Amino acid sequence: MGGTTGDSRWPVALVLLAALLVPLATYRLTREAALSRLDEAAQIALTSRALTLDSILDRQRAVAAVLAVDRQVIDTLRAGGRDPGDQVSAKMDLLRAETQSDVIYLLDVSGRAVAASNWDQPASFVGYDYGFRRYFQQAMAEGTGQEYGLGTVSGRPGLYLAHDVRDDGRDGDALWGVVVVKVEFDALEAAWGRDPAGTHVLDAAGRVLISGRPALRFQPLPPDSGTRAISMALRGTDWRLVMRSPTAGATRLAGLAAGTALLAVLLAGIVLALYLARRRRAARVARADAAHRADLERAVGERTRDLSDEMRTRRAAEQRLVQLQSDLVQANKLATLGQVTAGFAHEVNQPLATIRLLAENGRHLLGDGPLLVRENLDRIIGMTDRIGQITRELRSFSRKATGTVQAVSLQEAIQASLMLTASRRRAVAMAFDLPDLPPGLCVRAEAVRLEQILVNLLTNAHDAQEGRAAPRIAIAVETTSDSVALTIRDDGPGLSPGMAAQLFTPFATDKPQGLGLGLVISREIARDFGGELDALPPVPGRGAAFRLTLPRAA
């Protein structure tokens, strides 16, 4: 009884400890993750608002810079500030409307406003003296000036951007006055104010200049313990953009997660209690079943005999499986041997046809002189060499012997392949579209086997156009820095969807006399070179097209 009491106490203690630690850990991890996501979102929003503010300032600086070199503005200042017909003021008003400035005005060297975009309004700046303003003094001394403050006439806060007006004409580089653009940020502050995160622009002294909470303007930013603050310097100013994101949502989410974890721990405790009660009941049942153990042992004995019979049956089945696997291996060997033999017969056909053509040509030209006879005999020797190379490749096909891969001239390989299929071309008056290849274009391959691929593709293109009135084969070449893609297209009927799906399957062919091995062997050769051979997707009304991609030789 004492052991049972001890076993029932430790699960309770474990549940109580988990109920204390798991919610605390969950609260901490969830809050940290929520704050991290809050920081990421705030950083994105801060960057977007900084870019918006930079764009506004750049546009308004451009307005001041453009007006500073305007001939009409310079002439007005040179004329002592006389603006006949308020033309300069009207121009400034038009420019203000186009650039979303609040007011644009022109000051002479004494700081007196001689033209303004609001010249026709009751609160016109024309005639007012702004010589005491810091932005005017900076522009006169340094060329440009900037000041954020309250307007002398309007009493509204805004940013003043000033640019000096100079004339490098007959009076030399003379300073005639200053162009001022005032920008107010009411719309921007209203947009910021709709965001729960507080956004503020601070000057170098830490005073608030622009804010989604206008009541803070011109005051130091007060501390706020319920937010997380990030900041960013604004380009071209000594201002900083500060965003304070409230953390109440992260805290609330962490509290919900901790509550959920506590509930999960309590549910787990209930499940554990039910499990322990069930285990105690099972122990009682086990003691009650002890009387029936003899019957169970007899049942186990009977089952053991059944299992022995089943194991004997399984061993017999395994022996049959081994025999079937052995038969399958032998069948695969025979299929591979037949595939290689058929491939040999398929590939030897073209060189033998060419040998026959050249031999007949030699007999025909024998009376013209021994030189032509020697040339034909040399070609015959080359063809026999090719037959020997093909047979060697077929003998080594099963062990993936690829020969020596080196730089091969693509132009020479194409010309050699055309020569090997010349008998077919002359028989049907085949037309060719050949590309202009860059001088010295080479690929990584082995010459004889590359010609083997090209001859196979050209032969297929010939066969696809048998009986057509104007057969044509187009060859195109595309190059990149590390590969060369050669496309051979015919004007035949094209590939049927069923044939295109099994094109590179051994023995799959739609030719009455075909073996279905040429493309299979050609793809294997291309892959041995580190390239690929594919059929381009069928296009209705156009013939078949194959693309051979090979590594480009340096």
- DSSP class per residue in 153-190: TT--EEEEEEEEEEE-STT-SEEEEEEEEEE--HHHHH
CA distance 461 to 510: 13
Most confident of 63-72, 297-306, 366-375, 417-426: 63-72
What's the CATH superfamily of 69-184?
Answer: PAS domain (3.30.450.20)
Check whether domain 403-551 has CATH 3.40.50.620, yes or no? no
pLDDT at 475: 93
Higher pLDDT pick, 515 / 549: 549
pLDDT at 334: 44
Cβ atoms of 286 and 18 closer than 8 Å: no
Percent of the chain with pLDDT over 70: 82
* Amino acid identity for residue 61 in this structure: R
Mean pLDDT of 379-384: 72
Higher pLDDT pick, 396 / 485: 485
Strands 240-246 and 198-202 turn out to be antiparallel
Which residues, 6 or more positions from 74, have their beta carbon under 8 angstroms from its beta carbon? 165, 167, 176
Is residue 71's pLDDT more than 70? yes
Is residue 411's pLDDT more than 50? yes
Most confident of 19-33, 111-125, 413-427: 111-125
Mean pLDDT of 333-345: 54
Question: Hey, is 504 helix, strand or coil?
Answer: coil
pLDDT at 398: 41
Helices 2-68 and 87-99, interaxial angle, to 10°? 160
pLDDT at 328: 46
Is residue 321's pLDDT more than 80? no
Which residues, 6 or more positions from 187, have their beta carbon under 8 angstroms from its beta carbon? none
Is residue 62's pLDDT more than 80? yes
Higher pLDDT pick, 359 / 467: 467
Is residue 214's pLDDT more than 90? no
Cβ atoms of 353 and 462 closer than 8 Å: no
**pLDDT tens-digit series, residues 8-25:** 567 777 777 777 888 888
Higher pLDDT pick, 70 / 226: 70
Chain centre to alpha carbon of residue 149: 48
Is residue 304's pLDDT more than 50? yes
Mean pLDDT of 259-272: 80
By C-alpha distance, which of 433, 435, 492, 496 is closest to 465?
A: 492
Question: Hey, is 431 helix, strand or coil?
Answer: strand
Higher pLDDT pick, 414 / 317: 414
pLDDT at 401: 41
* Amino acid identity for residue 453 in this structure: I
DSSP per-residue string spanning 42-72: HHHHHHHHHHHHHHHHHHHHHHHHHHHT-HH
Higher pLDDT pick, 83 / 452: 452
**pLDDT tens-digit series, residues 158-189:** 999 999 998 876 555 688 999 999 998 988 88
Which residues, 6 or more positions from 93, have their beta carbon under 8 angstroms from its beta carbon? 104, 117, 118, 119, 120
Q: With bands split at pLDDT 50, 70 and 90, how would you rate the model's confidence at 259? A: confident
pLDDT at 160: 94
Helices 186-193 and 2-68, interaxial angle, to 10°? 170
Chain position carrying tokens 């070199």: 69
Higher pLDDT pick, 314 / 532: 532
* Burial group, residue 81, by CB count within 10 angstroms (0-12, 13-18, 19+): buried
The mean-pLDDT minimum among 116-120, 126-130, 417-421 falls in 417-421
Query: In this structure, how many other beta carbons lie within 10 angstroms of the beta carbon of residue 110?
Result: 12
* Amino acid identity for residue 17 in this structure: L
Is residue 1's pLDDT more than 70? no
Which residues, 6 or more positions from 90, have their beta carbon under 8 angstroms from its beta carbon? 119
Is residue 132's pLDDT more than 50? yes
Is residue 370's pLDDT more than 90? no
CA distance 432 to 424: 13
Q: With bands split at pLDDT 50, 70 and 90, how would you rate the model's confidence at 366? A: low
pLDDT at 384: 67
pLDDT at 485: 95
Mean pLDDT of the residues in the chain: 81
Eight-state DSSP code of residue 399 = G
**pLDDT tens-digit series, residues 95-125:** 988 888 999 999 999 999 999 998 989 888 8
Q: With bands split at pLDDT 50, 70 and 90, how would you rate the model's confidence at 349? A: low
pLDDT at 396: 44
Query: Residues in the chain, how many?
Result: 554
Cβ atoms of 176 and 166 closer than 8 Å: yes
Is residue 56's pLDDT more than 80? yes
List the domain boundaries for the chain: 69-184, 403-551
Is residue 309's pLDDT more than 60? yes
CA distance 39 to 34: 9
By C-alpha distance, which of 240, 295, 286, 237 is closest to 49?
A: 240
Phi, psi (deg, nearest 5) at residue 244 = -115, 115
Mean pLDDT of 413-419: 88
Is residue 347's pLDDT more than 80? no
Is residue 329's pLDDT more than 60? no
